[in-house]
Amino acid sequence: MQFYPVRSPPQPLLNEREFPMARPSSDRPSRGPLASRRRFLALSVSALAAATATPALLAQVAGRAEAAPLTIEDIKKRGVVRIGVEAAYRPFTFREGSAIVGYDVDLAKEIFAPLGVKVEMVDTAWAGVIPALYAGNFDVIMTSLTYTKERVAKVGYSIPYTEATQELLVRAGDAGTIKDLSGMSGKVLGVKLGSAGDTMKTGLDEKLKAATGKGFAQVKTYDDHPAAYLALAQGSVDGVINTLATLTQVVKDAPGKYAIVRDIGPRNWAGIGTRKEDEDLISFLNQRITALKESGELYKLQEKWFGVRMQLADKVPSFS
């Protein structure tokens, strides 16, 4: 198997979450020596104030940082639950005109319906969503907050409400022959540089060799997923890896052109994020998600927004 990076011109993003990256310091405009001196003086004053702060003041600040746990009764009394989202991640949360709509919006209304409260979506920058949660900007996080070892250590989580597994996009005409990973033996895989698919490619190649005696013919790497989808449509690659939720939108946007092959990557999911101390809220969320699964309402929403019924675990995954 050979890996081929493919440099492509910038493509418009399709159903992808992009994380903003800081510019190198050399790219930042110079502030000049006077501004630098002012900044130095301001930092010096701040440091002096911190060093001479009274114990009472420090205790007051610490008290604000250690907020009391949020309870269901608190939310009922307030009459509104605030949900932190990224309103640019279709079909979870996105804008139609001035309104935020999507799978998460519909599901949140179902989850909190028994409380009789207003559900308010708070659009926020995804890169700072966890600090914003702890700052009290909202009560929970949705928009497919996937489970990771680092996040589980920082955030309280509900049980899964959506799947975040990596799957394979193929041409619709090849769906009869590429029914699982073994169908990619001797074929060309496309991945986005730095994506989960890029990380998985070596392991998948080894799995293919063990199962069929032959791995991928090539793995081509692209700057973004839309470029990889275009290569798939043009026949340059035979499959592209991305998350199930995103691939459902690619299929939906181009009826009859693509198909999704399941059970490619290890199972992963997303839950609703809370502050660690909000145990009452977590318990409520788990009860409601379980009830909506049992009634079938949750799966109806998945079929509405994704066109598929997802395989959900009954507990938060462990990362021991």
Mean predicted confidence (pLDDT) in 187-215: 96
Tell me: the pLDDT tens digits for 221-232? 999 999 999 999
Amino acid at 226: P
Q: Are 229 and 13 in contact (CB under 8 A)?
A: no
Name the residue ranges covered by the structural domains of the chain. 72-163+269-305, 165-261
The rounded percent of the chain whose pLDDT value lies above 70 is 79
| Interatomic CA distance for residues 16 and 8, integer angstroms | 17
Other CB atoms within a 10 A radius of the CB of residue 55 amount to 7
Q: Please tell me if the domain spanning 72-163+269-305 has the same topology as the one spanning 165-261.
A: yes
Tell me: the pLDDT tens digits for 127-136? 999 999 999 9
Task: Give me the pLDDT at residue 188, please.
Answer: 98
Q: Would the CA dihedral through 279, 243, 265, 256 be positive or negative? A: positive
| Interatomic CA distance for residues 110 and 315, integer angstroms | 20
Using CB atoms within 10 Å of the CB of residue 204, give its burial: 0 to 12 exposed, 13 to 18 middle, 19+ buried: buried
Task: Give me the pLDDT at residue 23, please.
Answer: 28
Q: What is the mean pLDDT of the chain?
A: 85
Task: Give me the pLDDT at residue 1, please.
Answer: 61
The CA–CA distances, whole Å, from 71 to 37, 41, 152 equal 47, 44, 20
Mean predicted confidence (pLDDT) in 53-70: 51
The CA–CA distances, whole Å, from 103 to 68, 94, 143, 160, 173 equal 30, 9, 9, 14, 29
Among the listed ranges 23-32, 183-192, 215-224, 293-302, which one has the minimum average pLDDT value? 23-32
Torsions phi, psi for 281 (to 5 deg): -65, -45
Q: Contacts by 18-26 with C-beta closer than 8 Å and gap 24+? A: 19/126, 19/127, 20/125, 20/127
pLDDT over 60 (residue 10): no
Give the predicted TM-score (pTM) of the model: 0.78
Q: Of 199, 182, 194, give the one whose Cα is nearest residue 239.
A: 182
Query: pLDDT grade, residue 49 (50/70/90)?
Result: very low
Structure tokens belonging to residue 178: 């590429």
Task: Give me the pLDDT at residue 320, please.
Answer: 73
Mean predicted confidence (pLDDT) in 292-303: 98
Contacts of residue 319, defined as CB under 8 A and 6 or more positions apart, other chains included, come to 147, 148, 149, 152
Q: β-strands 239-243, 118-123: how paired?
A: unpaired
Contacts of residue 134, defined as CB under 8 A and 6 or more positions apart, other chains included, come to 275
Measured at the CA of 263, the angle between CA 260 and CA 266, to 5 degrees, comes to 125
Query: pLDDT grade, residue 164 (50/70/90)?
Result: very high
Tell me: the pLDDT tens digits for 96-136? 999 999 999 999 999 999 999 999 999 999 999 999 999 99
Task: Give me the pLDDT at residue 319, please.
Answer: 86
Task: Give me the pLDDT at residue 144, please.
Answer: 94
Q: Are 85 and 123 in contact (CB under 8 A)?
A: yes
Task: Please give the CATH topology (third level) of the domain spanning 72-163+269-305.
Answer: D-Maltodextrin-Binding Protein; domain 2 (3.40.190)
Check residues 244 and 16 and name the one with the higher pLDDT: 244
Task: Please give the CATH topology (third level) of the domain spanning 165-261.
Answer: D-Maltodextrin-Binding Protein; domain 2 (3.40.190)
| Four-CA torsion 40, 45, 51, 54, nearest 10 degrees | -160
Query: pLDDT grade, residue 2 (50/70/90)?
Result: low
